Chains A and B, each alone.
Chain A
């Protein structure tokens, strides 16, 4: 499904059969809501033995095109047995069924067939044992070509091959020295480079829907420890079974060191708990990831009903559900070493505040629950609803505005009471005169037996702490989430500043809860218990999992040599990355609606070899790239194209466009700028100057994806991505023509070249042709157009040490990067030394202490009398104020000639009497008048953290007036001035933009 811009056809079409559509959209939902309750094969003994969820069964109850003679219609019309018994269907609903019968009662044949087939083994290729074909890759490919009257292409030339290998294996262009290697030598060399791991980790990050930040833009706990683990794992060539096992269950593997727990980022860096989503959606994210990513099964389709096309019953979905619902994701780090003391203490303190908050609120809520009026509300509702099942009780809670957990606790206490429990008589009596009963009996002194309802572990109001999330208010939800984030942030601050003390992880829940089918996906409507098991189609009759959540057993089942699917999936993914398309062109759907393999025996032979080989990905890659099939030329042949336009038979190597990562990394390489440092905190792709780390290190924000990444079809980080689109849109051209990044690359490239021939060698790795030399000459020879360099202005931005006693600012160090919004020292995130220190147009944040104060520096362009107007605001809201997260900050105006001109302190206001209306954003006015300055005098606007950098974001954008002139810190704020490109640099840019640079033959 490579979506080239060309030959685009809108792919929406009417479904094949309107009758089936009608059944699926009108009839089945009706049956599901009105009939399945009693007539479903999910029930142990459906009423009358009738299983209406099988479309064929539904069909057997009617006489097509004759509604009056159809049993089903007679029943719903109440002409015969009167179904459903709880009340007649609405006229419109009956008429839907009649209409369906009138249409001939169409049902989806495929579904009917599949449902029947699900009971026995299914004859679909993907679930059969491996049937490896004989012979080498080349022999098998050629045999197919021959069958179709085609031949393979000749071997590509050496330079093309080395370039192909270099990009495919390392994601970088070859060096001049590489071209001297033989193909075999180059393969060995590339597989051994750390850049190999960076390239292939990025491929796996598409599978793993990798992101650094999630809900509301908050950073995941040490996300990048997972990315770095992947790079290392590919470089170490961790065998595939272990590679998978670690990512699913490192915490349960005795031989996995703590550093390997980072592999669990595979699960944890997705939809997360404590992120204001419901558990079912957290779990669905994991099910989708594992089933599509590792097994090529679209299990998520079975969340509400059996899979329409594949033999995946809803039961399978909830068997996996049980595994992933019993796991906690990335809320606690795993220790691999010490954290700096400061962060260690802070994290502990944050956790304590969180727990204390929960405890206090829990007490308050329990007290509310003991209020006689409250108890009356619950017991009266329960009296009316005492015959209802759990799902209906849930509805009752919703209708009566009751907390559903508390109602369930009351239900358990009252409805499960033994007959003869004196409470029951009391309860019944209370229904007669409730106002009196509840008010009297439940006020002090509490009368027996009511007392047992109020206190003690079985008393319904005594909700245990682990159920706090189910009773907390929306304000509590916000507050606990923010407190958890504060805790995580302390850990992240340490990690983002370079501490290697923690990695992210995942753990089993302390108690493993049983798993049930949610009928029609409704978590309040529980069906049968499922256990925690492997999808049935892949393991007919196998026992379910026993150890904890079952993740380790799941990993073992996936990579077991009895399971052919996982190896096929992995081999196909690797093939796709090397050949542009997989042998199966739907790499995450090997189901009945997925594509068939173009070379089934070859796929099985590769999978078989891969498993026998212990699952070495490096050896698999070597096998593929050393084949003649891989080493074919990509040259077009009209006759072959006519027969096989999609090149499914591999009559040539396809020409491929570099993906965004390879394109950007190539530019950095030829510009001589690439920083090959491995791993670490994420970088920005849009800072000025350019952060020259590889693109794999780009910060990936799930909710605020960089437009640039989307423009170039980088995988969407929201969910598992089977393969990348390849679109061509003008925004790509805009980036290449106008972005500061490409400009800077062109500048660096041009600076490396002595002459045009060298420029061509550097950029394209070849000699320029005479015609090219001639065309380049006007650019190379032209003199730069004189341009007036824009005035840098009087402002500078940086950090410095402030000596309050001497009144001096020393060691001013300008910030290194402009992010587009702020000046700071790291292109993204925190800097190891200056931490959060930054300045933006409106304000900024100071570093740790007086040695890292932030300084907005203004140099007087003339002598005169200066007037300064401004307001220093500490940006804190009710949350920071209540929990005293900030200790306030200090502002100073310092002259290099006259020392401290003024200083202020912004403190936290005292808490309000009502505990709610906090005075957010405390501030001081920072106006100064009649300041005599001399030309060239430095006036520094300094902010320091007052000793503690936390929650110290501030606003301060002074306006300065000197004589008739005004400088406004906000309006004047700007990034670095970028001078125009010289003609030589323009030439260099053109080379970076060519198709030759961007495509791989």
Chain B
């Protein structure tokens, strides 16, 4: 009596010998799961996505969008002054030096020197813009394509559309150390899509497995005892089903225990970073951000469709104060891990079909924020900026070594080849094989889209095929 006739198959998967979609197990049983791989509208260049979210709104003038003109106006009002969320004053030049990298001579500040070394793989979009300079709505815009309404996150959309390559792990995982970002799980919600497409949050500051993934570790029984339990369960369920044939829901629930059992092993394996050679661990660095980026790569390699890596709980890149010190620190934390990810994906041949996105929910002002109670502590910082900011893409069908669009002379407002967040989403979906205008879900009387009624694919950032 063997409840798991395909256990040997699983052993191979559990041992990490490669991505073997559990879909095949389902298919043998004539079943399809919510995560069963599916085809998009056409074959996309990217198969999976990693979004490195510098949450809080990273300063583009201090990272990927050099603005030497600010130095001329240091301490003086700029000729351009757009309305800002808080009171702002005179020009604040970047305290960081920019250098040219790669064949294309892409300019990147010292904050991201190691990422800069990958310039020929990067496509920096310097003309991003969004709606308002507030975190909450802008986070929703970046993640869900709308500021206020309850809509599914792009990760949920993608997994809904493509399924996932690994049925033993969630299809969409959000790594965020130390707790939750502002607006919590709203950022990876499935909203009106089924719960199976909700992002799964993992607090990467935790180190024990069952704190990483809820209930994944069995502390109630030994593994061999649990196998005996499952054999008894299978027998009872079989008997129950004898008089209740043709009920797929019963069979699905039987299967789900089998999957859960396997998930325990799979999770144990994927989150065990000690399985990586020392050289790889050194590449990422033995820091919180190094470890979580390595974890992200392991998840991608195992077939997880979408991984989001947050810088941290709250809004770490929200540098209202002391840009010189804080941006440096934030860059210091994430530069090496991101560079390592790019190196590592490349050496594994995964960069070609993995879309890497870096950025925040908006940018920051080129002018200094004035001190005010309830807002800041009054040291040279920058306010939120929804008029202009930068993101970069790499891999997955993106044209490397390019800069797309530009902000004005000071970095206040996106001016040339403006790219709205909706356009970024349209491009993201395009790279995965979706026509964003036809990728819909009917709910409450409407066919909803990630891009709502907006969005244009940004063709110039696509690599030629």
**A residues lining the B interface (CB < 8 Å):** 3-15, 21, 24-25, 29, 215-217, 271, 276-278, 281, 284, 288, 292, 298, 300-301, 307-310, 398, 401, 473-476, 478-479, 588-589, 591, 593-594, 635-636, 638, 641, 655, 657, 703-705, 707-708, 710-713, 716, 718-719, 722, 725-740, 742-743, 746, 771-772, 775-776, 779, 785, 878-879, 882, 914-917, 978, 980-981, 983, 986-987, 989-991, 993-996, 998-999, 1001
Contact = CB atoms under 8 A, between A and B. Distances in A.
Contacts of B374: 473-476, 478-479, 878-879
Given A12-B438, A474-B86, A657 B253 contact: yes
9 closest A-B pairs by beta carbon, nearest first, are A733-B260, A298-B445, A475-B374, A730-B259, A6-B248, A718-B150, A475-B375, A401-B83, A703-B184
B182 interface: yes
Contacts of B262: 730
A776 B239 CA distance: 14
B86 A475 contact: yes
Given A727-B194, A727-B195, A734-B264, A300 B377 contact: no
B221 A986 contact: yes
B375 A703 contact: no
Contact of B34 (A8, A14, A722): A8
Contacts of A729: 33-35, 195-196, 256
B345 interface: no
Tell me which of A300, A593, A722, A734 has the highest count of chain B C-beta atoms within 10 A of its own C-beta. Answer: A734
A657 B256 CA distance: 14
Contacts of B259: 730, 733
B232 A11 contact: no
Interface string B188-202: 011110111010110
Interface stretch (B89-97, B210-218, B293-301): B210-218
Contacts of A737: 215, 218, 220, 226, 229, 257, 260-261
Nearest to B375: A475
B375 A708 contact: no
A475 B184 contact: no
Interface string B101-139: 000000000000000000000000000000000101100
26 contacts: A3-B194, A4-B252, A8-B33, A276-B134, A278-B148, A292-B444, A301-B445, A474-B375, A475-B375, A476-B374, A589-B444, A589-B445, A594-B445, A710-B195, A713-B194, A716-B191, A725-B195, A729-B196, A733-B259, A733-B263, A736-B260, A740-B219, A986-B225, A990-B232, A994-B236, A995-B236
A660 to B, nearest CB: 11
Contact of A478 (B180, B245, B375): B375
Tell me which of B167, B198, B233 has the highest count of chain A C-beta atoms within 10 A of its own C-beta. Answer: B233
A697 B437 CA distance: 42
Contacts of A398: 83
Nearest to A713: B195
Nearest to A882: B373
B285 interface: no
A704 B149 CA distance: 16
B4 interface: no
A990 B183 contact: no
Contacts of B19: none
Contact of A732 (B41, B239, B260, B447): B260
Given A475-B86, A478-B375, A11 B442 contact: yes
Given A735-B215, A785-B222, A309 B161 contact: no
A6 B255 CA distance: 11
A8 B32 contact: yes
Contacts of B32: 5-9
A732 B253 CA distance: 9
A253 to B, nearest CB: 30
Given A7-B32, A996-B240, A916 B440 contact: no
Given A476-B374, A738-B218, A986 B229 contact: yes
A978 B256 contact: no
B63 interface: no
A995 B185 contact: no
Contact of A10 (B38, B239, B453): B38
B168 interface: yes
B55 interface: no
Contacts of B232: 775-776, 779, 987, 990
A13 B438 contact: yes
A15 B194 contact: no
A594 B41 CA distance: 26
Tell me which of B219, B248, B251, B435 has the highest count of chain A C-beta atoms within 10 A of its own C-beta. Answer: B219
Contacts of B254: 995
Contacts of B442: 11, 593
Contacts of B445: 298, 301, 307, 309-310, 589, 591, 593-594
Nearest to B238: A995
B334 to A, nearest CB: 25
Nearest to A735: B215
Contacts of B236: 772, 990-991, 994-996
Given A13-B438, A987-B232, A298 B372 contact: no
Nearest to A592: B445
Nearest to B438: A14
